[in-house]
Amino acid sequence: MRYVIRQSLCKRLQVQEGPFAELLLLGSGSFSQPALDRPLAGTGAGPGGGAAARARAASSWAGPAMAAEPPGARGFYRQLPKVELHAHLNGSISSATMKKLMAQKPDLQVPHGMTMIDKGKRRSLEECFHMFQIIHQITNRTEDILMVMKDVVQEFAADGVKYLELRSTPRDEPTTGMTKRTYVEAVLEGVRQCKEDGLDIDVRFLLSVDRRGGQIAAKETVKLAEDFLLSTDGVVVGLDLSGNPSAGHGKDFLEPLLEAKKAGLKLALHLSEIPNQEEETRLLLGLPPDRIGHGTFLHSSSLASGDLVQLVRQNRTPLELCLTSNLKSQTVLSSDQHHFGFWYNLGHPIVLCTDDKGVFATDLSQEYQLLADTFRLSKVQIWEISYNAINCIFASSHTKTKLKEQWHQLKTSVLE
């Protein structure tokens, strides 16, 4: 039985050889996890410098620099009220939830290292996308999605997140009968139950279009998003374009994205997460998007891309920035080289986010702490970054006002 699952997993993941095939020795009893938990994966889509530079950076990186930390510093980041706007549901599954899921699926013996990158470890971006495919095998029923949703929301709330926009790719799973529609319904049921439980967090949802699915799937997702936009009283707020940036081309998504925009859905688009995507980025910036995911290579030194920075600045399109994600997936070599510095110095709107808190083993408080330690930001500067993020949410101006009031009420006690 386990062998059959292994075979079908390999087939679905299209893994024939290499470290992932090795990792998919499900149920063999002789599984050796460290193949992927090496400190460096040499195939990452890192910026210039090639494998040697990546090797230098990776070997010198031992996780977030949190050296001379004053007592209580950690408490400050946790108490800080926070807004999270870039979190993929299946990438946000904690190891505790993963354990619960695995307990229900004893035939799927997926080791920890295949769903989470531990502290100080890195992978290539390609490897991260293989990890998501493995996670999708584990969350293939609507009851999994409901449980994951509730746990993820609770964890964000416990971390001091007051407003959360989660995003996820609706999936059909013929083996369990889950459809894209029941997938979204399970997500929304999770939101409803968390609200009923009285959690101190406002949760909204974006439907994700996976680049790998192509235009037809994108159109289907837009249609679904339009339906839920009308029926969920403000919970569904927008659409996300994500997935492996090497898959497909942005031009294939222009039409469905434009349609979504016309229907009133907000657009959060992953743009220039890897180098040399100027043409596609220019095209998608024309929509224009309401927020940009990562934008890691928007400001890269090539003269040709100078106009991209200008476009983003003119529209004051907020950037969703995810430090640990970019470091662990090796699109950024060290935290001090992170493009946060570039955009922050321009006074451009940015929002600090986790991306995939489960896969990258982080939380939003840690991201703020890493940011403050790397760029030597004061508590007041950190407070302002968190407060200004409210302006970038997709919910109504009424919600913005309410959140700002909440921040004002907490300010003195958190900063003192």
Phi, psi for 225 (deg, rounded to 5) = -65, -40
Q: Which of 127, 355, 363, 367 binds ligand 6MZ (CB under 6 A)?
A: 355
Of 112 and 404, nearer to ligand 6MZ (C-beta) is 112
Binding mask 31-70 for ligand 6MZ (x = CB under 6 A): ----------------------------------------
Q: How are beta strands 236-242 and 161-168 bridged, if at all? A: unpaired
Q: Please give the single-letter amino acid code of residue 264.
A: G
Q: Is 91 in the site for ligand 6MZ (CB under 6 A)?
A: yes
Residue pair 385/76 in contact (Cβ under 8 Å)? The answer is: no
Q: How far is the CB of 310 from ligand 6MZ (least distance, A)?
A: 25
Catalytic annotation, pick one of 273, 280, 320, 367: 273
Are 410 and 404 spatial neighbours (Cβ–Cβ below 8 Å)? no
Considering only residues 311 through 350, tell me which ones interact with ligand 6MZ, judged by CB under 6 A: 325, 329
Query: Toward ligand 6MZ, which CB reaches closer, 78 or 86?
Result: 86
Residues pairing with 207 in the sheet: 168, 239
Element (H, E) at 230: helix 214-231
Site for ligand 6MZ in 210-269 (CB under 6 A): 210, 242-243
Which contiguous run of DSSP H or E holds residue 321? strand 319-321
Our finding on whether 88 is near ligand 6MZ (CB under 6 A) is: yes
Smallest gap from residue 355 Cβ to ligand 6MZ (A): 6
CB atoms within 10 A of CB 245: 25
Residue 142 lies near ligand 6MZ (rule: CB under 6 A): no
Report the nearest approach of ligand 6MZ to the CB of residue 109 (Å): 21
| Number of neighbouring beta carbons within 10 Å of residue 279 | 12
Q: State how far Cα 69 lies from the chain centre.
A: 27
Active site residue 320: no
Q: Pick from 54, 64, 80, 90: which binds ligand 6MZ (CB under 6 A)?
A: 90
DSSP string, 68-88: SPPTTHHHHHHHS-EEEEEEE
Catalytic sites, residue numbers: 273
Q: Which residues bind ligand 6MZ (CB under 6 A)?
A: 88-91, 128, 132, 168-169, 208, 210, 242-243, 270, 273, 325, 329, 355-356
